[in-house]
Amino acid sequence: MDPTELRIAALVPCHNEEAAVGKVVSDLRAAVPGITVYVYDNRSTDATAERAREAGAIVRTETTKGKGNVVRRAFADIEADVYVMIDGDDTYDAFAAPVMIQTLLAGPYDHVLGVRKQPDSAESAYRPGHETGNRVLNGVVGKVFGENVEDMLSGYRVFSRRFVKSFPAVSREFEIETELTVHSLHLRVPKTAVEVGFRDRPVGSESKLRTYHDGFKILALIVGLARHERPVAFYGLFGTLSWLISVILITPIVVEFYRIHQVPRFPTLFLGLTLVLLGSLAWTAGLILDGIRRSRHEAARLMYLRYSAVGVDSAEPVRQAYR
């Protein structure tokens, strides 16, 4: 399929990226002829918007701070067949976009992840702790959702229209990449990954990431997603632990009761019975929420199926039926 026949939009979230955004926009326009580049200025205090306009981008503003808020706004506002999401800090190779787009169309896929790859001889462009944290979070998500994730925190991705328009986007900040990954996992959309160049920020550009703050926020999001996406396992773990503790507390009391026909430690017995009740409630909640989860997934899948695969005319099945 010829990409020039499709509407291709690039979404570039920016906060104080005047040193880099112009090059990102220029590189995207040179790499993908006909692409429309949207730069979303997220409360910048520098000349980000001016540099983006000078490079040929359409500049829009999102006044609520946070990358997640930008993505939610852009996904709602922008109409296209193919969406390219890339950070405005010039750390990703914009000239990898054509390969990612062709990969999406060849599948066809709904989500192509840009896996960051640096030359072996290059100095690491990751901030201290970020590479390790990324690997840890990749492993956690892989265990929770039962599928390997190569680079969950990558900000370079290509999406189909049906992925974008079925994505709820509830995250407010940096956790949006995690939410995008989990959305593709629980819907089991066709997806793949492509290695892309990754380099350090240009001189004059400063990272907005906070290693421990953002890491804990993402970990909290993963715990919340596990609670929503694996409720039987999540609540069952607490229920089973409550039962085990109750057995440890109650067993000596029962043995003592059969020996002397008295309850020697009534408060301990009461605590043990309370834990039995709490464990039962936890398992019940997990089973009920699992049924709700299944209903949510079915509704999300039906929303996803309302849109055609990328490059497919949605009216074509109707025309075929009447031939």
**Strand, coil or helix: what is 1?**
coil
DSSP characters for 284-305? HHHHHHHHHHHHHHHHHHHHHT
Put the strands of the sheet holding 58-61 in their side by side order: 58-61, 36-41, 8-14, 82-85, 157-160, 111-117, 191-197
3-state secondary structure 137-186: HHHHHHHHHCCCCCCCCCCCEEEEHHHHHCCCCCCCCCCHHHHHHHHHHH
CATH 3.40.50.20 fits 3-228, yes or no: no
Looking at residue 316, its pLDDT comes to: 42
| pLDDT tier at 219, thresholds 50, 70, 90 | confident
- Over range 31-60, report the average pLDDT: 96
| pLDDT tier at 135, thresholds 50, 70, 90 | confident
169 vs 275: which has the higher pLDDT: 275
Task: Write out pLDDT tens, residues 61-75.
Answer: 999 999 999 999 999
Using CA atoms, how far apart are residues 11 and 105, in angstroms rounded to an integer?
19
Percent of the chain with pLDDT over 90: 53
Using CA atoms, how far apart are residues 49 and 59, in angstroms rounded to an integer?
6
pLDDT above 80: residue 268 = yes
Is there a contact between 157 and 75 (Cβ–Cβ < 8 Å)? no
Task: Write out pLDDT tens, residues 165-215.
Answer: 999 888 887 788 888 988 898 888 999 999 999 988 776 656 655 666 666
| pLDDT tier at 126, thresholds 50, 70, 90 | low
Domain ranges of the chain: 3-228, 231-304
- Over range 78-84, report the average pLDDT: 96
Closest CA relative to residue 38, chosen from 88, 100, 4, 81: 88
Looking at residue 322, its pLDDT comes to: 29
> In this structure, what DSSP letter does residue 195 have?
E
Percent of the chain with pLDDT over 70: 86
Task: Give the number of other CB atoms < 10 A from CB of residue 98.
Answer: 15
186 vs 105: which has the higher pLDDT: 105
Task: Give the number of other CB atoms < 10 A from CB of residue 314.
Answer: 12
Mean pLDDT of the chain: 85
Angle subtended at Cα 144 by Cα 106 and Cα 101, rounded to the nearest 5 degrees: 15
Task: Write out pLDDT tens, residues 281-310.
Answer: 999 999 999 999 889 888 888 889 988 888
Residues belonging to the chain = 323
